[in-house]
Amino acid sequence: MKSPIKIIKRGDLSKKKTVMIQLIAVVLSLVFAGIVMLFFNLNPLEVFSTIVRGSIGTDIRIKQTIVRAIPLIIASLGILVAFKMKFWNIGGEGQIMMGALASSFVALNFGDLPKPLLLLLMAMAGAIAGGIWGLIPALFKAKMGTNETIFTLMMNYVAIKYVSYLQYGPWRDPEAKGFPRIPRFTDNGVLPKVAGVHIGWIFALLLVVAVFFFMNYTKKGYEIAVVGESLNTARYAGMHVPSIIITAMLISGGLCGFVGMIQASAVEKTLVYTISGNYGFTAIITAWLARLNAIATLFVCLAFAVLLQGADYIQLSMHVPSALAQVVQGVILFFVLGSDFFIRYRVRWAKDSSKTTGEGASV
């Protein structure tokens, strides 16, 4: 029996139609999220307005939203580089964790160094550790053809459990009176603030420009894109595919590792096993929503940070259960991510062949 539905890959869709599909998805997501709220006897308009107030309603809330956007932007840039090559790096969490661990090691052992030098060493350690953590699955992929999705996913738990072991074991602060806590950094190990927000926001903006330039105007960025489009084409053009995979994952993991340094230095001011904060997983969504474009990543991550901050706020101000806030986020993401399907593919409804020989209607 033939399926009444045919899925056909679209050609190049015009920018106007792409934007239209995305706008329809946003509107539908808000409508269905509102329907979910109605089931819980909540006023959707009140909830949405509270989300906006909770994220950008005051200077303090705006700053907090920016603080949440910073790690998301940089991690998304890292995921973007790997995904552009169709290397499915699901290990952002572990790479963030290992970056935080390495930078914390520097901060805890060399805390008396001058602040600029200490922060530079922490940033280098974090990026190198994250890069190495990304390099391991890249080597196995390049040399043995292993499945990078499973490999990078499993490495997340190795990193998280190791940091947990350090927090409850060797690095435990003896002055914490039994509480499982790693000592806090000295002031020299804490990133300074600019305009009321830690300096990470400047790094995020610079990295957006750097990654955009790298991916669009350098030979290595071009090679990464070609490998993602077709391995055979890359090999035919004489590209050394294993080295390209390794380079891309060093950059991807390094960016995620730098996120770990920022979170350890500017936010937690120490190392905790929850420091990655699901940013590595969330970055997969934001990078995909941005269609692997560095500039678009900036705006998508800011919008997502508004949603995250606002969802936390409604839990406190309206006593909305955290599960409901997550459901609302899920509904919105479902429609927004689903719009990408209709941008890439056309759904064709086949007519009964006994009645017509036409190809049928399409969406």
- Domain definitions of the chain by residue range: 71-294
DSSP code at position 274: T
Q: Is 75 exposed, middle or buried (0-12, 13-18, 19+ CB in 10 A)?
A: buried
Task: Give the pLDDT score at 337.
Answer: 79
- The pLDDT assigned to 363 comes to 57
Q: Is 145 left (phi over 0), alpha (psi -120 to 50) or beta?
A: left
Residue type, 113: L
Mean pLDDT by 10 residues, the chain (363 residues): 72 79 87 89 89 92 96 97 94 96 97 96 97 96 90 95 94 85 95 96 98 96 93 90 94 97 96 93 91 94 92 86 80 82 78 51 52
The identity of residue 16, as a single letter, is K
pLDDT, residue 265, reads 97
The Cα-based distances of 309 to 34, 116, 219, 250 in angstroms read: 18, 31, 39, 31
Starting at the earlier edge strand, list the strands of the sheet with 361-362: 5-9, 345-349, 361-362
Contact between 54 and 310 under an 8 Å Cβ cutoff? The reply is yes
Among residues 37, 182, 192, which one has the least CA distance to residue 101?
182
Return the number of other C-beta atoms located less than 10 Å from residue 195's C-beta.
9
